[in-house]
Amino acid sequence: MKSIFLALDFPTWKESEQFLRENKLDGVPVKVGMELFYREGNFVIERLKEDGHPIFLDLKLHDIPTTVYRAMRNLATLEVDYVNVHALGGAEMIYRAKEALSETRTTKLLAVTILTSHDEVALRNDLRLPGSVNENVVHLATLAEKNGADGVVCSVHEVEQIRKHTNDSFVTMTPGIRLASSSKDDQRRVATPAFAKRAGASALVIGRSITAAENPFEAYKQACEEWEHGT
């Protein structure tokens, strides 16, 4: 599987395309989030596919099961590599999302566990969820697997525990990845590509460490080297 997804956190396709072209990031796996997709719609997915980019469509669907099923049936026609829902939407919602993707073998379903911007304090004070971050992540990961999800989006720091409770093919897509020289910004549970590799992560999402780098091509190359060698 493709391992490092570059987060295209740009407001328009024009800016995204310019960034990819100018930095010679041809055909690299990319993550398309809400900002870009809500502005450009299916067009941005079609263009990225034309240019050979594997795609993780990061929309984090979270609604009643029927609505998510209908939305996911529409997204299935795009035939991206990954698409996701919020695991907090519950068992039936996850099941219906997977059901909607059943006609395509192209797209795998991921479920977001706990956002990497949340820590123990946010979990307790804002979400009022009992238990630790790790306990909630493991619960949501096993819930997702039981209801058909192919993997989860989680922090690197929860990968080891998730691996103990899920099958070997279960995907762990890990955002919050930073090169050693980068700041954490608004994410708290972060790690380097090398740490993620040693932890057993399946794939990474990297954004600002590359898009805000002085030389994005070299930054992406560095991330790949760290990931491949685990050092």
Active site residues: 60
Tokens found for residue 38: 């809500």
Q: Degrees (nearest 5) of the Cα angle 112, 131, 136?
A: 20
SS3 153: strand
Q: Considering only CA atoms, which of 15, 48, 18, 10 is closest in space to residue 30?
A: 48
Distances (CA, A) of 81 to 58, 109, 158, 186, 213: 11, 9, 23, 27, 26
Residue 191 is given by DSSP the state B
In angstroms, rounded to a whole number, what is the distance separating the alpha carbons of residues 215 and 104? Answer: 38
Q: Which long-range contacts (CB under 8 A, 24 or more apart) does 118-122 make?
A: 118/188, 119/188, 119/189
Tokens of 23: 């930095």
